[in-house]
Amino acid sequence: MDLSARIKELAIAQGFDLAGIAPAVEADGFPRFLAWLDQGMHGEMAYLARLDMAHSHPASIFPEVKSVLVTAINYKPSQEEKPAANFGRVARYAGGADYHDILHEKLNRLLEQIRSLQPGIEGRGVVDTAPLLERDFARRAGLGWFGKNTMLINPRQGSYLLLGALLLNIELTPDPPFETRHCGSCTACLSACPTEAFPQPGVLDARKCISYLTIELKGAIAEEFRPGMGDWVFGCDICQEVCPWNRKPSPGENWREFRDPAMERLNLVELLRLSEEEFRHRFRDTPMWRPRQRGILRNACIALGNTGNPEALPDLEQACLNKEPLVREAAQWAIDRINERFSIF
């Protein structure tokens, strides 16, 4: 077995569902990325624009890079449950441990194993936080194609995929890139988006995306988008839920141990009642820490306004006294929305 095949075999043994190799070249999608930034579709994610040119080539992260090993883990859950009243939904990737930590640990262990195969091998693991266009290299490594919702879709695993990459200083045999898109005339993902975040197939306007609104946006969410957010309190999976390619793949067994079903459906009223210390203890080591408590409370208030349960009014009224103006405004909006729905004055 040659070195490239052995490395991919080790990746699968480490708990990844997919592994492929791409050459360390300029990212195919870099010009599209710059055009996307120029149109302001990244919203307030200033870090993307600040490091714009760094996204052109993986050498900006690891100057000695010659090959990119791209890995993926299927995180599709085993079952779907409809949330109960006053419960909010969390994007499936966030229902448990922080994937950054888990994938980094796996990549570091994998790198140690690769080093033992041949003297002089060095590398760096990348999980979502370095300026690497991971999906571009995943496609080039043969892992899948870009859906019209911009997600990477693998014909066997679907699109519920967590991507990681190892930048290596050795020449490896690249896999054939995935050239064919298998979406055909399907536009299910585009039609299902409640905030119309896709101006055209394959282009996401993050400023309208529920994931961006609930996670990355630090200020108030524009009222025009709030009804479309439904009961999502962190992230969104709608464009993946409706994708036909996600019907047949089996649940992600390699991710099962890191899932916490209790984190995928959150009691919105309980969220409003958490003290700062309780919130920190519960969410500090999870993806939900990113928007901090003020962001999660903002989202919870909007979700309660959309679910329209008048039983939440006392807690929303209490939230109107929160020290954060962001939370107070969202709570009052939710109260007004519930009162309007039930004509409670």
Question: Could you say which DSSP state residue 259 is in?
Answer: B
Question: pLDDT value at position 342?
Answer: 78
Residues 84-136: tens digit of each pLDDT: 778 999 999 998 889 999 999 999 999 999 999 999 999 999 999 899 999 99
Q: What is the mean pLDDT of residues 170-191?
A: 97
| Active-site option among 28, 101, 128, 175 | 128
What percentage of the chain exceeds 90 in pLDDT?
86
Secondary structure (3-state) at 123:
strand
**Mean per-residue pLDDT of the chain:** 94
Residue 9 CA to residue 195 CA, distance in Å, equals 41
Q: What is the mean pLDDT of residues 140-157?
A: 98
Residues 299-322: tens digit of each pLDDT: 999 999 999 889 999 999 999 999
Question: pLDDT value at position 54?
Answer: 87
Lowest mean pLDDT, pick from 24-28, 76-80, 107-111, 129-133: 76-80
Q: What is the mean pLDDT of residues 287-308?
A: 95
Q: Please check whether residue 258 is in contact with residue 97, taking contact to mean a CB–CB distance below 8 angstroms.
A: yes
What b/e sequence results for 183-211 when a residue is b if at least 16 CB atoms lie within 10 Å of its CB, and e otherwise? beeeeebbeebebebbeeeebbbbbbbbb
One-letter identity of residue 317 = E
Active site residue 28: no
Residues 38-65: tens digit of each pLDDT: 999 999 999 999 888 889 999 999 999 9
E runs forming strands in 225-269: 232-234, 265-267
Residue 163 has pLDDT above 80, yes or no: yes
Nearest alpha-carbon partner for 143 in 163, 124, 125: 163
Q: Which residue bears the tokens 């208030």? A: 301
